[in-house]
Every structure is written in structure tokens, then in C-alpha cells.
Amino acid sequence: MKNPSKLAAAAMAALSFAGAAAAQSINAAGATFPEFIYKKWFSDYKNAHPGVEINYQAIGSGGGIKQLTQGTVDFGASDRPLTDAEMADPALKIKPIYFPTVLGGIVPAYNLPDVKTQLLFTGDVLAGIFLGKINKWNDPRIAALNKGVKLPADDIAVVHRSDGSGTTFVFTEYLAKVSPEWKAGPGVNQSPKWPTGMGQAQNEGVAGAIKQTPGSIGYVELTFILTNKGMQYGQVKNAAGSFINASVESVTAAAAGLTTFPASITNAPGPKAYPISTMTYLLIPSTIPDAKKREAVKGFLAWALKDGQKLAPPLGYAPLPKEVVAAELKQLPQVK
């Protein structure tokens, strides 16, 4: 044989195909916000049900919606609902049903090796930073919130998402609520025109960039901070006037009274609520023609809404309120 390495590779591949032939292979793609809990869920579910293999690619909410529309994945995931334009897209043959999975928080993460105290931010100041109006760390507006903290005179390196992101959508939604200047400017969008900063793909990329660049600040989902030793993040002032640390408790408080979905829970009124919180959704097509796939997906959803919720808090996500879970289990039969 001219190229023995080719033969060996083919044999390896054939063997692995044969071994996995029995598995029900399901493809999903979407938000990076919940990727920790989703990957854990899919991995645990596969261990419990070896016949079901759900391959999830975290490419961003925008990507998830697009792949779902084009039919290149079996279901999608997004931190934001589809826009009217996306719903009306003629390519979207089967309309999705929203299944919220967990709650989570978005934190302002930064990298200031010499600042040991946790910084405090208000929505206004965050808007100023991301608008490029506040561009030095020792700006009086930041200093006013953090009395007694020695802030360096360095430039602020803003990091934002370069891809269509549900995390961005929620973050800009929060900024628009607290800053009229942001609302009039870039506005609420999964991929706004950023006045300043560098873009990285996915939550991972933003977290990676912040970690590598002293003087940088960006917005990432909480778990990325918790799983990375030494990454710093700030507290944010909520609507009730208190500075809140993002945590399972404060995110749960933001969802108090939540019964319907999709819904926005940013800048929630509660005294202990974390202001930049959100639900995240799985976008399940209302019709799944393949019976085996449909059963597998529905089986997974039922598991995620009950047993899966317990796995959320250790990873930094908050479980859904009971009312929401009940409503979802009621709508599960709608997936035909």
C-alpha cells in the first residue's frame, strides 16, 4: 500500500464509527453563557443513558439561532429570544419553542494585578467605560465609587464580544435601562456597534483576553470567573441602590416573581437582586420528525428540568423558579 498511514487512519476511524454506531447522535449549538452546565448535563446524561449523545458547540447565541434556522442542528441555545425578523425568516421552517434551563449572572470582569480590593461599579460608570468616555482606571467617576482604593493611571482596555452574543444582548439591555446615552447610542443588540475596545469570540475568548491583558475590562458570565483562579470581577449597584456581588443567591433574587418566559430580569427591583441577570433558553423545534430523536430530546429536557437543576448551583448558575419548571413540563408535550 502506497501510504500505510492512510490505511491505519481509516482503520482507526472505522473502528470508532463501529463502536459508536448504536448511539443516537444529536447536534446542538448556541450560547456560550450556559456552556458549563450544558456540557456537564450532556456528559452526565450520556453516562446515564449511553444511547444518547448530544454534541453541543458553544458558538454564541447568534450562531445557535442561525444554525437552527438553517436546520444544521437539531436544537439551538440562546440567552435571548428570537427577534421578530428572525421568527419571520422564511428559512425557519419549524418555529422553536423556548425552554428556559437555568439563570445566570453577567459580571464586569477586569484585570488589575495591583488592586486587591473588589471594585464597585454602577450601570452609569459601566456605560461610560464601554462607550469609551471613561478611559483611564483612575478616572474620578470610578474613584468616587471606590474610595480609598489606589487605582492605576493606566488605559482601560475594553473587551467585548466579536460574535452575535446573547450575553451581549442582555448586557446591552441592562446598559440601555440604566444609561440613556447607551440607549441612544449603540442600544440593545446582540452585536452592537462598539464605540471602543477589542472583540473576542465567545465568553471564553473574552475571559481569555481579560486574563491575558492587564488593565482590561469586559463582561462575562459568572462561571468563567469562578472556574478561573485569580480572575477579578466587580460588584454592581442594583435598582434598589445596593452593591451586589453576582452569586447563585443574588441571581435567584433577580428572578423573584418570574412566571412567564421568555422574559427579561435585568435591573430587577428586589433589594438583593443582582442587576445583570438573565434566563437562558434551549430552542427546541416544535416538530421533530425523527421519533427516536424526539424521544431522546424530550427525555433529556425532562431530566434537565428535574435532576439537572441540582447540578446548576455548584457551577455558579441558579436553578429555575418552580413555577417556570412547572410551566415548561406542561409545554413539553407540544414538541411533536
Partner 1 sequence: MSAPAITSGGTGRTKSLLSSLRGGDAVAHLVALVFASSVLLVTLFLVFELWIHCAPSRAKFGLSFLFTRDWDPANGQFGALPFVYGTVLTSVIALIISVPLGVGAAIFLAELAPHRLSEWCTFLIELLAAVPSVIYGLIAVFTLIPLMRQYIEPFLKRVLGFIPFFSGPAFGDGYLTAGVILAIMTFPFIISISREALLEVPRDQREAALALGSTHWESTIQVVVPYARLGIFGSIFLGLARALGETMAVTMVIGNDTTIHTSLFARGYTIASVIANEFAEASDDLHLSSLIELGLVLFLITIVINALARLLIVVTAGRGTGRAT
Partner 2 sequence: MNRLAYRKLVNKIMLTLTGVCTVLTVSVLFIVLGYLVFNGATSIDWAFLTQLPKPTGETGGGMANAIVGSATMVAIAALIGLPVGFLGGIYLAEFSGKTFGFLVRYMADLLNGVPSIVIGIFAWTVIVVPMHTFSALAGGFALSLMLIPITMRSTEQFLLNVPRSLREGALALGAPQWKVIGTVAVPAAMRGILTGMILGIARVAGESAPLLFTALNNEFWPTGLRQPTAALPVMIYKHAMAPFDDYHRQAWAAGLVLLAMVLITNVTARFIASRGIAVQKG
Which residues ranging from 65 to 124 are in contact with partner 2 (CB under 8 A)? 70-72
Q: Does 221 bind partner 2 (CB under 8 A)?
A: no
Residue 189 touches which of partner 2, partner 1, none (Cβ within 5-8 Å per kind): partner 1
In whole angstroms, how close is the CB of 266 to partner 1 at the nearest point?
Answer: 19
Give CA separation, 202 vs 30, 85, 199, 208, 209, in Å.
10, 23, 9, 10, 11
Which of 215/313 has CB closer to partner 1?
Answer: 215
In the list 200, 250, 267, 280, the residue contacting partner 2 (rule: CB under 8 A) is 200
Peptide bond before residue 262 is cis, with ω within 30 degrees of 0: yes
Q: Does 201 bind partner 2 (CB under 8 A)?
A: yes
The site map against partner 1 for 2-41 (x = CB under 8 A) is: ----------------------------------------
Which of 22/85 has CB closer to partner 1?
Answer: 85
Which of 18/153 has CB closer to partner 1?
Answer: 153
In the list 62, 64, 76, 205, the residue contacting partner 2 (rule: CB under 8 A) is 205
Which residues ranging from 164 to 183 are in contact with partner 1 (CB under 8 A)? 164
In the list 115, 149, 198, 231, the residue contacting partner 2 (rule: CB under 8 A) is 231
Residue reference for cell 448530544 = 54
Q: Does 148 bind partner 2 (CB under 8 A)?
A: no
In whole angstroms, how close is the CB of 289 to partner 2 at the nearest point?
Answer: 13
Q: Tell me the torsion sign for CA atoms 296, 299, 304, 307.
A: negative
The site map against partner 1 for 186-225 (x = CB under 8 A) is: -x-xxxxx---xxxxx----------xx-xx---------
Q: Does 162 bind partner 1 (CB under 8 A)?
A: yes
Residue 203 and residue 187: Cα distance in Å, rounded?
Answer: 20
Q: Does 60 bind partner 1 (CB under 8 A)?
A: yes
Which of 152/199 has CB closer to partner 1?
Answer: 199
Residues 6+ away with beta carbon under 8 Å from 126: 108, 175, 179, 236
The site map against partner 1 for 81-100 (x = CB under 8 A) is: ----xx--------------
Stretch that binds partner 2, among 174-182, 185-193, 221-229, 283-291 (CB under 8 A): 221-229
State the residues that interact with partner 1 by CB under 8 A. 59-60, 62-67, 85-86, 155, 157, 162-164, 187, 189-193, 197-201, 212-213, 215-216
